[in-house]
A = this chain, B = another copy of it.
Amino acid sequence: MFKEILKNVQEKTPLVHCITNYVTVNDVANVLLACGGSPIMADDINDAEDITSICNALVINIGTLNERTIATMLNTGKKANALSHPAVLDPVGAGASALRTSAAFKLLETVNFSVIRGNISEIKTISHGSGTTKGVDADVSDAITEKNLDEAISFAKKLSARTDSIIVITGAIDIVADAQKAYIVRNGHPLMSKVSGTGCMLTAIIAAYCAANSDNMLEAAAAAVCVMGLSGEMAYDRLIRTDGGTSSYRIYIIDAVGKMNGEVLEGGMKVESR
C-alpha cells in the first residue's frame, strides 16, 4: 500500500505552501522536490491566501515565528480549511517559550490540522498546555522507549481523538496515530539528530504525501515517516563508505529521499500497527 502512496506523490506532484522557519527552509524546499512534490514559500498575509489557493497542501512551522507571520499562519490556515487542503502543523519549540506555546494553541483553536508532527516534548505541550522542551529538542525524560510505548500510543490516540488530527511523534521510535489506529515506525538513525531540520523536512514530506493521498492520510503520514527514516538509514550507509561528517549526511539524506521508490520503501520500512 505504501508503494501506491509514494507513487501517487510522484505522479501528482503536489504543490505545498510552506509558512516555515528561515533556518531550514532551503532543505524543506529541496526535500519537497526530492520526494516528488513542489514547494512554494509565502508568509505575507496579503500574499499567502492567494498562494495557498493554487497549492494542494499547507505547512505551518512555527520555528522562527514572529507577530507578523503568526497572523499569516492563522489566516492562511483558515483559507486552507475552506479549500479542504490538508494542513500540517509543526509546533517547533512549543513549550520552550510562552509565545510559541500560545501560538500553537491559537493555531489549534482556529485551524483544523490534518496532521500535527513534533517531538514528544512538543506534542506533550500541545496536549497538556506546558512542556519541558529543551529548546527545539525533546527532553530526554520524555523519550519514547519500548517500555513506555503502549502508554505513548494510547496518549497519541487520545490526543488525536481530541484534536481530530493525525498525531505524529518522532524520536528513536516514531508513532503515527489517529483515534483508532497507530503505526509504529522504527526506521531512522541516531545521527539524524545531529542534522538541523530533519523534523521540518519530514513535516513537509507528510504534507506532500497527504495532499496526494487525501482519502488515506493516516497511511500517507506513516509512509512519509518511513521514507524519512529509511532515507536516514540509506544515507548513513553511504556516509560510512566515505569520509564525510554531519554536513555530508544532510546532503545524503535529501539525496536518498529523491531516490526512494516503492520497492526500496517496502523492502526497508520497519513498521507495525497497533
Contact = CB atoms under 8 A, between A and B. Distances in A.
A244 B255 contact: yes
Contact of A99 (B34, B46, B65): B46
A15 interface: yes
Interface residues of A, number: 62
A245 interface: yes
Given A15-B135, A136-B40, A245 B25 contact: no
Nearest to A62: B47
Contacts of A255: 244-248
Given A15-B135, A47-B65, 13 more contacts: A22-B22, A40-B135, A41-B63, A41-B64, A44-B66, A47-B100, A54-B134, A66-B68, A246-B258, A247-B250, A247-B252, A247-B254, A247-B255
A33 B196 contact: yes
A208 to B, nearest CB: 13
Interface string A47-59: 1001100110000
A24 B229 CA distance: 25
B97 A42 contact: yes
A96 interface: yes
A235 to B, nearest CB: 10
A86 to B, nearest CB: 17
Interface in A207-246: 238, 243-246
A116 B58 CA distance: 30
Closest 3 CB pairs of A and B: A245-B255, A50-B97, A247-B254
14 contacts: A22-B41, A23-B26, A26-B196, A29-B196, A30-B195, A30-B246, A34-B245, A38-B135, A46-B67, A47-B66, A244-B251, A246-B254, A247-B252, A248-B251
Contact of A64 (B43, B96, B244, B250): B43
Contacts of A39: 23, 136, 196
Given A245-B254, A258-B194, A42 B64 contact: yes
Number of copies: 3
A137 B25 CA distance: 18
B51 A96 contact: yes
A98 B246 contact: no
A203 interface: no
A73 to B, nearest CB: 13
A112 to B, nearest CB: 24
A248 B254 CA distance: 9
A246 to B, nearest CB: 5
Interface string A256-273: 111100000000000000
